[in-house]
Structure formats: structure tokens, C-alpha cells
Amino acid sequence: MGVAAAGDMSEAFARAQDQRDELAPLRREFHFPQSKSGETLYFVGNSLGLQPKSVRAALEQELDDWARLGVEGHFAAKHPWLPYHEEVREPLARLVGALPHEVVAMNSLTTNLHLLMVSFYRPTKTRYKIVIEDTAFPSDSYAAASQIDFHSRLVGFEKRDALVRLKPREGEATLRTDDILAAIDRERGAIALVMLGGVNYLTGQLFDIATITRFAQEQGIVAGWDLAHAAGNAHVKLHDWNCDFAAWCSYKYLNSGPGAVAGAFVHERHTRDASAAAQLPRFAGWWGNDPATRFKMRPDFTPVASADAWQLSNPPVLALAPLRESLALFDRAAIGKLRSKSVALTAYLERLLAASPVAKRMHVLTPTDPAQRGAQLSLIIDGATRETSHRLLERGVYCDFREPNVIRVAPAPLYNSYHDVWRMVTVMSEVFS
């Protein structure tokens, strides 16, 4: 984008950007909800992504196969059900920068965090702390605190100070990487696990996953990541960055529907050596057993040497079909290109807001550095309440309000256009003027 163009606030400029955008046609692959105002400006892909149009046929295929074949669908369905989780393995791996055998689609996000902590949070009397963001998503806080409680009863450590919550400096909204490292360093002998959100759900801050992971591991600490707001948004490289584990949901940027089946990553270091893998504590189920012996129906468990070892149950076919359809669109876009568009689109949103009448009563929580954020901008707007977001919705603007006073706006590069952004800022300016 040229310097002259960067100052251009016109509608024509937005249209021209869309003309030039090679990802623009992907927008037509999604259903947009109908709005009373006749215009839909959907900026909550960070909360529930839009439905890909191909999902309906994919679900009907499974329903038809079930009706037509019954149990034989496990083998004879168009997409056989028995290995159905394999359908999403490779696209999922591409999306999060993993090797195919390092990822698996299963369960829901919080369930996966628990299952992974069972294996990777292994506290002792002296090393037992878990580091999270002070503004971690509540479910992550509850999951970590309840793991601490569970283990403290068995191991007998002091659980009162076991959950370390990283707070920004006075007067700042986001965390500095150096401060995160310093906090880890201060208690390095006592910390068992660092488990942060790749992108913080409230502030939109994208953490330096590689640096934090490396630093934690140098102190003998496990580094796990919650990618709920990073998967399909930021360009992550879980394998190269050597992350120990990660989990994410698929209904936000991954557009796979309400309560969609989640994802999990376990670095191959932890599974390559079968005897080491067998030593890991794990809550096991039959779908984590080596497929070669799974149907021998033996009582002893042989974990498959991959992330699949954490799978408990046979794959939820009706939940996986939308994920497969959605991931096909990510493959069409390619995450690198998607991220480039996202960086430009969010910068455009930031620029328009800064030049709008909203600016004088607005404060942006999200870092201005594109390397430290994903698609989302978190705004504090003077006088904005939950009521205000209803008024925006009446005008067709979908954004969300988080207590106490944060409005989150996330242009999703798969389906949002520059013109969407331009219109959204125009409507906001009217509502807030």
C-alpha cells in the first residue's frame, strides 16, 4: 500500500482494495446472517465464525450415508467414518505449523486443555506453579486452578500461590515480552507449566510464542498454548517453535459451527519414542490405542505414537464434517496470504477509526505493532455499554461487548472486505456521534 493510499478514507478506496484482493472471492463461500437494516457487517468471527455454504451438503452426505448404510457407513460411507478424524489431519497441521501426526481433532477446547495437562502438568512439592495471563479466558483459569487443586491434594504442595497471573504494568493494557520472561525467571524453580493464550481473547495481544516457549523450556518448564484466538488468525509454527502442547477451538476463526470439535497438538518429541510415550501419564480411551491392535479388544493400552494417543473416543462424524469443509477454505486461501490480508485489513480498520469522530472517546487496548496482534482490535469507548452494542446490531454491525467495557471488533480476512470495514466505521461514527 502506497503512502498516498494510506491516507485515503474514501469509499472508493475501500472498493478498489477489494478489487485488488485475490482472497475476495472466498467471501461468497459463506452465509452471512440477515439483518433488519438490510446490511450485515459481521465482525465477530473471533466469537462465532460464519457458516461455509458447503457445510450443509457435507452434513447431508453423512445423514444420507447413515440412513442408507447404518453401521456399514464406518467402511462404506463416501468418507468412511472409522478413520474420519484423518480427514482433517493434514489441513489442521498446515494451519498451526505442525507435522500431521502432531495434531488431532477431538473433544472441546477446555476438555483438551485438561487432557493435555494430565500429561504435561506434573507438579512436585517444589515445582508446581502454573503461569497464565491475568486476563486469561475464565475457562482456562478454572481449568488450571482445578488441576492445581487436584494435584495439591495428592502431592501436598501449597496451592494458594500456585496460579501465577501475569499482569501488565500499571497504566498498560498488554504484557511486555521482557516482563513475561522476567516473571518466569523470578520463580523459575517453582514453575511447572506456562500456559498462555496465543492471542489474548480480551486485548487481542499476540504473544511471542517462540521466545516465551524457548525461555520457559530453558528453565525446565513445560510450555503449552491455548490457540483459541490464534488458530486461523495468526501464523503459528508449533513444531518449529518446539511448543510442548497446544489446544484450540474451531468455532471462532475456524468457522466450524457452534461447539465445533476442537484441536490438539502434541510435539512429536513426546511421542516419537514409544517407551517414553508410554511413560507419560494419560487419561486413555480406545481411540488412542494403536489402530493396529485397537480392534483386538485387548485390555492393555498401547498408545499410538502420535497426538492421536490422547483421543478417547471414536470420531464425532457430524461435528468433523463442518471442520473439514472449513479447513478446505483455509487451504484455498493459504494461511500466509490470509495473514497478510489480515494485517492490512486490521491496520485499515485502525486507521479509519483513528480518523473518525469515534477517536476522541476511544482508546485501543490492542498493540499497534502488527506482529503483536491478530485480526482483532479491542476498543474502550467512553460511554459504550452492552446497550450500545445492541444499537450497533440494529444497524447491522455485529461486534461484541465484554465486561466491563471492551468492544471487540475482528475483521476476518476469509470473508470480511475492506468495504465492510469502511461501512462499519461509518455506522460506528453515527452511533457514537
The contact set with ligand PLP (CB under 6 A) reads 108-110, 137, 139-140, 197, 201, 226, 228-229, 249
Helix ranges restricted to H, 21-108: 55-69, 73-76, 89-96
CA atoms within 13 A on the CB side of 185: 9
Nearer to ligand PLP, 184 or 228 (CB): 228
| 171 burial level (CB within 10 Å; 0-12, 13-18, 19+) | exposed
Q: How far apart are CA 333 and CA 79, in angstroms?
A: 24
> What is the smallest separation between the CB atom of 178 and ligand PLP, expressed in angstroms?
23
Q: Identify the residue whose cell numbers are 452494542.
A: 389
Q: Please tell me the distance from the alpha carbon of residue 122 to that of residue 116, in angstroms, as a whole number.
A: 11
Distance of CA 318 to the CA centre of its chain: 21
Cβ proximity to ligand PLP: between 55 and 254 the closer is 254
CA 173 → CA 156, 287, 364, distances in Å?
A: 36, 43, 9
Which one, 109 or 362, has the nearer CB to ligand PLP?
Answer: 109
Q: Please, are residues 224 and 160 in contact by the beta-carbon 8 Å criterion? A: no
Q: CB of 15: closest distance to ligand PLP in angstroms? A: 33
Shortest approach of ligand PLP to residue 236 CB, angstroms?
14
Contact criterion met (CB below 8 Å) for 45 and 412 = yes
Q: Nearest distance from residue 69's CB to ligand PLP, in Å?
A: 31
User: Nearest approach, Cβ of 230 to ligand PLP (angstroms)?
Assistant: 9
Supply 384's cell numbers: 459504550
State which residue, 100 or 316, has the beta carbon closest to ligand PLP: 316
Residue nearer to ligand PLP on the CB measure, 135 or 306? 135
Please identify, using beta-carbon distances, which residue of 116 and 304 lies nearer to ligand PLP: 116
Least distance CB 248 / ligand PLP (angstroms): 8
406 DSSP β-pair partners: 380, 402
